[in-house]
Every structure is written in structure tokens, then in C-alpha cells.
Structure 1
């Protein structure tokens, strides 16, 4: 919506309104955290751009109706030579690879994309030529708010599982919820969740008001992702051996949570962003 032309908005917002699925194609086999190092190219040929290259770890790949694909239109310009294209499923030369066998988040389709002389109409460029990296970074900022919300939901589920189990599990003649060690774990989980909610709401409000929120989104993503991992780990610890079993859902939450410190910018990359931006002021 932010970068599209009126014609693009009219066409693709209708698809979104009718429950169409979209995907974001930035990551490549050799370009993850180093997004500027992507190798997919788009060469102008009359009224079309001819796209060649590969993408990796693309969420909704294979089920999406529309893909936003980043490709280099001017490789010699580095990040300023990256452009964004709207690609519809079924476009000739566009192939979706097999789904990744992931550790967690297995309910979400994730696969690679292959482009072989795929011809994209010039009117399907999103923004202007060279705007791709900027579009990608803005999109990632927004996605990091979503990570905060996902982390809150996963953590609340983990807390509920741990709390209910602690009330029912009898050890040494009484529910383990009576032991201070368990109470402290539960307390730390609650504190973490409340903090996650606050930081997520704060950055979401800044975004809604049109304020600068890049660093806030990075802080939100790092804190919420890492806190969620700790909470899910503690949930397993409270369940003990049962937490390690697939008969209980705690282990699934633990596996799902790990993605939150990797996807949409690793914790390490975001700490670099936060530190450099803060020191530059």
C-alpha cells in the first residue's frame, strides 16, 4: 500500500480483501542477514524485466497468490540497484521448490523459489527502480512488530500449560505449584509476558502514528523473541520429563519459538542495528 501505484493498489488490495495470500521474496541461499548480497537479477527488455535467480526460506511459498520479489536491476549500484517486483503465481519461468522440513512453525509453508527467464511487466515494479532495498527494510520493520505479537501469544500459551500442570502434578505429597521454585518460574514468565506486551504495543502505536520506529521495532523483536524462548524453555522445565515428550505441547512451543530469534533479522544483526543507530545520534 505504501509504495504501490493507484492501479496496483486497486488490483491487489482487492485480492487481499478476498483472502488472497501474499509472500515476500528477499532471502536467498547466499543472502540472509546480508540482504544486500542478493544475486537475483532483473534485466530490462522492452516493456518487461527478465528475472533470473533463486530465493530461499520464503514464507507462504507455494500457497501465495502474489509475491513481492527483490532483484538487482543495477548490480553495480549495490543496495541502490535493488528493485521490487510484484509477481503473480503461475507466471511462466517461476517455480516453487519443495517445502522445507523445519524444526518448528511446521504449519507455515516455507520453500525456495526459482526464476528462469521470468518476464515481469514493467508496470509490476513496486516503487521506482532502485527502491527495492528501502521497501524491504520498511517491510522488515513492520514484520518485527508481528514477531512481538507472536511471541506474546506463544508465551501466554506456554504459561497456561505450565500453570495448569503445576497445579495438577503431585510431588512430595502436594502440587508442585506449592513450591517456591515453581512459583518463581511462573512469576518470571508473567513478568516477561507483560513486558513483551508493553514493548509491542508501544512500537505498534508509533507505527500507527507515522512516527520513526526502526530501532523500537528492533528492540521489540530482540526482547520478545529471546524472552519467548526463555519462557518456553521454563515451561518444559516445569513439566520435567513430560515437557520433553511430544505427548505434551510444550516441546512444540519451544521449537516454534526458536524462529523468533532468527527470522526477520537475527538477534545479533538487530543488536548491531540498535547499537550503531544509538551511537550515531
Structure 2
């Protein structure tokens, strides 16, 4: 792994930072206050991104498939869609996390489609804005406890159940729904299905009022005898007990580094602004001084910067492994666990370090502190990530280590 960012990614990093500074930051507070209002300013940006993606063959806020071969397979060192996604989204979330989650056609459901869809499905749903529906009232962090069902009926599947906390669930053009083909067969029967907006039987029950990321809509969806074509099942339709839950969970190996990158972006924003505010008070922020001779606030700032760097390197590693065909389940969880916790710790500590400025709406620091909390929760909570890491390190199954 090379620690220098490849030069080919310089344009996407530069463009994403420009969007974050000139589009996201100016309207950040507006849509924080106007929860559930759709950010129309993003429509033009989404069109620009479509053009960029078409030209590069890569996505910016989705995630690509795990590459099928890596350095040992004769392709050399590769930095592709997953690295591109991580780098671009880090910059966008330096601007605003909620707005980054609201970009049309760049939803978490798009990452799921990119990860497991076949060529026909990629062609059919490639331009569709897709949300992802996993969590249920009785199934939060334990995705294997899903009770939504998909029953085969001729050329269709009939979906019944309820999903909560669906990011972009109201705005998206489709939802990737996780459901069980046969609850009696446990995890192996859980598959993902694309349900397009307007399909009879799918309804938006309500929109949630939230602590943070208020620019992004979060919906509760109900499926009541919702019929979809058999071709809308993503991946293999067979229930393979020997593979268990691995097929469905592969999506997370791609999306968890993406969420880690989001946490790094908002954490970096808070640190940079805090550094500016502390420098304005006359504190010496130079790294040449020993920690024990520095002001306590400066020493704490530098500790937080070191923590963010550690999270960033873990995130890059997980994305690089995905691009090079290396199984990255453990590393994806390590990146998500570290970055999710660190991003939230940094934003809260920066609020404290900046005193009254950290709590006032005159600065975005208090908003970043609220926004960052979700990044330690969705795509698998901190506790679930640590459990997954422990299983991988010890070679234990989910049945053996709960």
C-alpha cells in the first residue's frame, strides 16, 4: 500500500472540495433549520456528477464491487472506484454530511446495487437513485434478525414488512430492501430486492425528526403485499446454507469504508475550524514544542489530529483492499469503528475547546457535532463493528461469538 494519493485522483478531490466550500457550506445551516425540505441546489450538482462519472467510469458517492483479482492476480496495484469514492466523499462531508447523503443517484442503495447486481441489473438500475432499507423495529444492529419477507409468486416476489430509518427513503426513486425468502432457514435466506418508487403496496409512513443530518430525509416504509418482478432480486436467488449470510453482508464491506470517510471529513472540518479559532486567540500551534510545555487546548488539538490520521489510514487501507480484490471485512469494520468513534469524539471536543463559539449557531461546530453522531451508528454500530473484528481475529463464527 502506497501512502501517497495517486495523482489521477487530484481532479475529483479538488472538485469535491470546491463543491463542499462553494455549494454545501453556504446552504448548510439553511437546510439544517428547514428539515425535510429538499435541497434543490443539488439537482445541478447531481447532473455534473453524472457527467464526471460517465467520463471516468467510476462513482463518487457509491461504492464499487470488490475487485476479483489483485496484485497477485497479475493486475498490479489498483486504485479504482472504492478509493475514488472514499476520497471524494471525505471532501464532500467536509462541507456537509446531510447534503452529501442527499445527492441524487448517489445513495447507499446505489452502493448495494454496484456491489452485487448482475450486468442486466446494472444497466437497468444504473441511473436510478436508490436508498437502502435494512433496519426494522425488531432488527437494528443485528441484520440477521430481519423479519420482512419476500415470497415467490409466479414471476414476482411479494414483499411484506416494515423498514425504519431509511436514508433518502422518501426522495429516492427506488429502495434496496433486505428481506427473507424463508425465515425458517435463518441468515442464508436473506436477500436484497430493488423496489421502485410508486410500486403498489409500498408506502412512506412518516419522516423522522433527527438530531443531525437534517438535510437528509429519513423515512419509515411499509410493504403490504408489494409485488416486484423476480428480476429485481440482487445476486443469487438460491438459498445456500453453506455460504450463510456472506452474500448479503458483502455490501457492507464496500459501504463501511465510505461511512468511515464521511466521519473523517466532518472530523477534519471541525479540527481545521478549531485550529483557526485557537490561532486567533494568540496560542502557539506550532508542532516544534513538546507536548508538556504547550497549552492544554493545543495539546488536546494535536492529540485529536493524530487520532484522525489513524482513522484516515485505516479507511484508505480498507478501500485499497477492495480495489485490489483482497477480502476486507475485518478492515472495513476496523475503519468504520475507528472513524465513527473518532469523528464524533473530535466534533464534541472541538465544541468544548471553542467555548461559547462551539455552542452558538454563528459557527458550524455545533452542527458538525450533531451530524457526526449518526456516523458511529448507521452501517453497523460501534459495538457491532468491534464484535465483527473480534470474530475475524479469533476465527469465530457469529454462532460461536455473540
What's 2:118 paired with?
5
What RMSD over aligned residues (CA atoms) do the two structures have, in Å?
Answer: 1.8
Out of 129, 135, 140, which is 1:27 matched to?
Answer: 135
Q: Is the 8 A contact 2:156 2:228 kept in 1?
A: yes
Q: Is the 8 A contact 1:33 1:266 kept in 2?
A: yes
Out of 20, 31, 45, which is 2:153 matched to?
Answer: 45
What's 2:31 paired with?
none
Q: Where is the strand percentage greater, Structure 1 or Structure 2? A: 1
Q: Secondary structure at the match of 1:42?
A: strand
Do structure 1's residue 115 and structure 2's residue 248 form an aligned pair? Answer: no
What's 2:180 paired with?
72
Q: What is the aligned length?
A: 271
Deviations 1:216-247 (A, max 9, x none): 01111111111111211221112112212233
Distance of 2:275 and 2:386 partners within structure 1: 33
Do structure 1's residue 93 and structure 2's residue 201 form an aligned pair? Answer: yes
What's 1:84 paired with?
192
Gaps of 5+ in 2: 1-113, 286-293, 397-402
> How much has 1:109 moved relative to structure 2?
1.5
> How much has 1:269 moved relative to structure 2?
1.2
Out of 155, 165, 169, which is 2:267 matched to?
Answer: 155
Q: 1:177 to 1:108 in 2, by over 3 A?
A: farther
What's 2:163 paired with?
55
Q: Is the 8 A contact 1:23 1:67 kept in 2?
A: yes
What's 1:125 paired with?
233
Q: Is the 8 A contact 1:21 1:60 kept in 2?
A: no
What's 2:363 paired with?
248
Gaps of 5+ in 1: 170-174
Distance of 2:378 and 2:312 partners within structure 1: 20
Out of 249, 254, 261, which is 1:142 matched to?
Answer: 254
Q: Which moved more, 1:129-138 or 1:187-196?
A: 129-138
Q: Is the 8 A contact 2:267 2:308 kept in 1?
A: yes
Distance of 2:348 and 2:303 partners within structure 1: 12
Distance of 1:43 and 1:105 partners within structure 2: 35
> How much has 1:6 moved relative to structure 2?
2.7
Distance of 1:206 and 1:89 partners within structure 2: 34
Distance of 2:324 and 2:134 partners within structure 1: 27
Q: Is the 8 A contact 2:115 2:251 kept in 1?
A: no
Q: Is the 8 A contact 2:190 2:248 kept in 1?
A: no
TM-score by length of 2: 0.64
Do structure 1's residue 264 and structure 2's residue 379 form an aligned pair? Answer: yes
Out of 158, 164, 168, which is 2:280 matched to?
Answer: 168
Distance of 1:121 and 1:211 partners within structure 2: 33
What's 1:236 paired with?
351
Distance of 2:190 and 2:264 partners within structure 1: 34
> How much has 1:176 moved relative to structure 2?
4.4
Q: 1:134 to 1:120 in 2, by over 3 A?
A: farther
> How much has 1:277 moved relative to structure 2?
1.7
What's 2:43 paired with?
none
